[in-house]
Structure formats: structure tokens, C-alpha cells
Structure 1
Amino acid sequence: MWPSHPLLYPAMMHYAIVSDCPHRERLGYTGDGQLTCNAAMLLLDSRRLYRKWIRDILDSQDPDTGHVQHTAPFYGGGGGPGGWGGAVVIVPYTYYRHFKDRDLLAECWPHMLKWFSYMQSRCVLNLVTSEEKDGWCLGDWCTYERVQIPEPLVNTYYFIKCMGMMEKIAGILGCDEKKDEIERQAAASLKAVKIKRPQSG
């Protein structure tokens, strides 16, 4: 994946914004950012950059609904509630794994819980089927051929992935709040994906 090349990362981080590309949109897409943050933290001296961007993501969250914007710190662009919004869980947890910053993880925890509740509100039969009104609810959208995996399965996959991370974070922080609910929702969503997944062959 081209953003993983270490020489391109500095060009994508002008003015402390983790941007999707240095030449076109130049927005801090949370989907692109969560996919590449592990490589950036591993290859570059990026601790301060990601601490700042994590707080941008927190600031972009709707305080009422828990929805996480597709880009941070600036609003704009399309995305989906799982692969993009899940950055509120994935990026802080990845940051903790690299830098062991428990305080920042604790700062993010209430925002993760708010996003978790938002995602539950977007589920039908435990599959994430929608986002904001008139939102795209993108899944695996940039494919060479016709998209084979329905958007609800992609978004629910990310929801399940993030819930697994949240269970680990709850253990790190010693927070039992909603832990049982997260485990039940993860199990229910996984069961729903298994029922709805496309059959091979």
C-alpha cells in the first residue's frame, strides 16, 4: 500500500495533519489514518503528531450522537461509520501499544464509549446498516471490480474489531463500565456477519 512508504509519510503530514495524500484532497481522513498509523508510528518519530491528531479526532466527534467525522481536524469527505469512525478506537489503542501512554488512552475512553453507543444505534439485527442522514456509509468501496462485500458487513467487521480492542482497553484501564454490554454486542454482531456473509463458490 503506497502510504506505507516512509518517504511519502512526511509529505502527507504537513502542519501536523495526517492527510490522505499530499497533492489532492489533503484532508485528515480517519479511514486512511487508522489503516496506516501503525506503520507511521513504527517507522517515524511521530509520537507528538499522533497525540495531536488523536485529540483532533476526539474534537471532531459529535458530542450529542457520538458520530465521528470522516476527517479531522477539518470536516469533509465521505466515509463510513466503521472504517472511518473506528479511528477513535484504533488509533489511540495503536498509540498505546507503541508508546504506553495510559493517560491518553484514559482520555479517549469516554469518546470510545460514546462511539460504541452511536454504532449500536445504527444497527439493524446487529449489522451496521446506516450512518448519518444522507451519509454514504461506505464499506470496501475502492475495488478493481464490482464490490463483492456489502457495506453492512464491512462496517460491522470494523465494529467487531473495535469492540475487541475496547475489551482490551477496559482491562488496561481497569474500567468495567459497559464491558459486559460490549462483549454481548460483539458476539451478536459476529453471529450476524456469519449469517449474512456471501457464500464462496
Structure 2
Amino acid sequence: MKQLLKYTKFVNGAILTGSLLFTSCTSQFEKWNINPNEVTPDQMEQDNLNTGAYFTQMEKGVFIVGKGADGVGLGGRYQITEMLTGDIFASYMANINTFSYTTYHNDHYALYRDWYNAPFNDAFTNVMQPWKSIVDVTEESSPARAMATVVKVLGMSRITDMYGPIPYTRFGTSIQVPYDSQKDVYYRSSKNWIPPLRRW
């Protein structure tokens, strides 16, 4: 019995000590958990950064040019998304090497997975996600949302031409969304970008 009482006192003391330790840390919780090298949501609201910061990313996602964040450049992504995937597959360009069973050539319809996935991945990372971020912080009649929608339509019309059905109308609503047919993408796109342009 004495052993049980001693054990209960020890457990209660440990629980009390643990609860004091955990509650005493919360007074500086925000100060300790804010990255000093990262922009806060309040800072992003100044000078329209919460919308304007995404436009450059969207524009580079439509037609990949310029330098990347690392300063090396996006020329390699342009070569993959335009030349090696689209242009060769559509026979705008041709490979001067002879056919070989050991190498991948989009020219010979032996598609290289990293190449044919690149335009799709780039479009959804650099066009659709920034568009969704702008939509989340703007009103429906906002000029920033209208401009972002026009850039989105420009970028995604190229992607639906390359791939056919794509996730479009319900993008960002859940992790898995159904794909829209190419016809639905074009009809929905025209409904999205014509009204904002008529206002201007």
C-alpha cells in the first residue's frame, strides 16, 4: 500500500511538472515560431504583394524564359517543355541522329517520362497554384483576379492541347479532383476571361 501511495505521488508530481513545463513555453510561442527570414501574411498585404508576387511566376509558367531563383536559368526547362516534348512530337523539329533502340527519342515516339510530364507539372506548379493563391485573397470583381484568370487561361489552353483532359474547374478544392474534358476546359475558359476583359 505504501508502495502504491509513493508511486501515485511520483506520477502526480511528474504530471504537474510536465504540465508546468509545457504551459510555461506558450508565452513566446509566436516569437519563437516565426521565421525571421520569411515574409508574414501581414507583410504580404502591403503594396499588393499578396497578389502581385504571383504574376511573375504565372507568366514564367506560361512560357518558360529567364533565370531561375538559383541564377542558373530556366533554359533547360524550356528545352524540355517546348523543344523535346512538344515540337519534336508534333514534328516541328526533327532529330538528326539515327534511330536507336537504346535511347529515348520523342521523334520516334519512344517518349521519355521526365520529358512528357514536365509541361504538365510546370503548368500546375507555376500557373494554377499561383492563380489559386490570388483567387483566395481577392474578391470576384478584383482586377488582379481578372488578370490572373487571363494568364491562367493562356497557360492552361496550351496544356489541354498537349494532354487533352486536365483538372481545371475544380482545381484546389481537394487533393483528388476529376479531370475536365478539353471541350469543357475551353468553354469554361471563355466564360472566365471574356467578362473581365469586357469590363475594361
Normalising by the smaller structure, the TM-score range is 0.3 to 0.5
Bigger Cα Rg: 2
Length-normalised TM-score, structure 1: 0.36
Length-normalised TM-score, structure 2: 0.36
